[in-house]
Amino acid sequence: MASLPPPLPSTLRPPPTPTTSRPPLLRRMGYTPPPVRPLDVAELAALGSLPLRARRLADALGSGGHKSRRKGSSIEFADYRDYQLGDELRRVDWRLYARADRLHIRETHEETPLRVVLLLDVSPSMAYTSRPGAFSKLDYARMLLGAVALLARRQRDAVGLGLLSAELAEWRPPSASPLRNQLLWSLLDSPSPGLGTALPAALHQALDLAPRRCLFVLASDFYEEPASLASIFRRLRHERHDLLALHIADPAEVDFTFTDPSVFFDIETGTELTLDPAAAAAAYRARFTAHRDELAESLASQGFGHLFLRTDTLPLDALRSHLATR
């Protein structure tokens, strides 16, 4: 009988097959990853660079896929339907056939690219900020739209951009091209300020140039009568577009905490008004709230989203929720 070979030295023996998963090496060494820092408005304002701000915000928002209303080939289950002559046999659910003795086709959601059009209001009122070193409405809006652009590009969606003031000042059609994406970022990074505002007219011009079925993300302070915007909202719905309105406001515009009698200057029209803020505060806040509510109601009547955003806060949960549903 042949003798058995000598046992392998311990240094040459193959490692035993683990029966349970072991923690990563760093964790076994006592290392724990640092907690994710919460996002802070002051931190974003201090970054100073639009790409850095947008990337930091996009990372906080996270990314997620979007589903098409059509059914096709994917991995996410949608529904079953009866087998029809000509269907591919590889799409038959054979386990269901074993139970029901009938052929069924397993359908899944088809992932489709989106056309995202970012619309930025560059009218003079958007340059306002009530606090030195804080975000102006324009800088805050640029950061939000930049984050949306990054999320869309991560999903390989086509992204376009329009700058709105008294008219459609600039237009970049939706594209997934990296070169065109660079041109879009250069325009978003240093937009030319507008000389006035006529939001309905500018939006109609953008719609004349836009392709079919876009998701419009509009960032503006919406200093327009909501009734004047109703027709453009109806046109958006009629042409089967979607719209998310980012309503940007400075905290001083919302709270109206001015105390001393002053001369208030309209940035866009040049009109001056001498006013006692303490006497006018209650009436002002009531009119501001009524305007915001009327705008939100007009958008909701067409099935569009409205997010009211102060430049001193970052409501990440609300923005994340709205983007996920769209």
- What's the mean pLDDT in 70-99? 69
The more confidently predicted of residues 140 and 105 is 140
**Whole-prediction pTM:** 0.73
pLDDT of residue 22: 52
Identify whether the C-beta of residue 107 lies closer than 8 Å to the C-beta of residue 219.
Answer: no
Strand, coil or helix: what is 90?
A: helix
Q: Which helix (H) or strand (E) holds 138?
A: helix 137-154
* pLDDT tens, position by position, 252-277: 999 988 888 888 888 887 788 888 88
pLDDT score of 251 more than 50 = yes
Judged against a pLDDT cut of 70, whether residue 31 lies above it is answered with no
Give the pLDDT of residue 116: 94
pLDDT at 11: 46
The domains of the chain, with CATH numbers, are: 44-66+113-325 (3.40.50.410), 71-109 (no CATH)
- In the DSSP assignment, the letter for residue 110 is P
The closest of 247, 242, 326, 325 to 293, measured between CA atoms, is 247
Amino acid 23: pLDDT:
52
pLDDT tens digits along 286-303: 999 999 999 999 999 999
- The mean pLDDT value of the chain amounts to 82
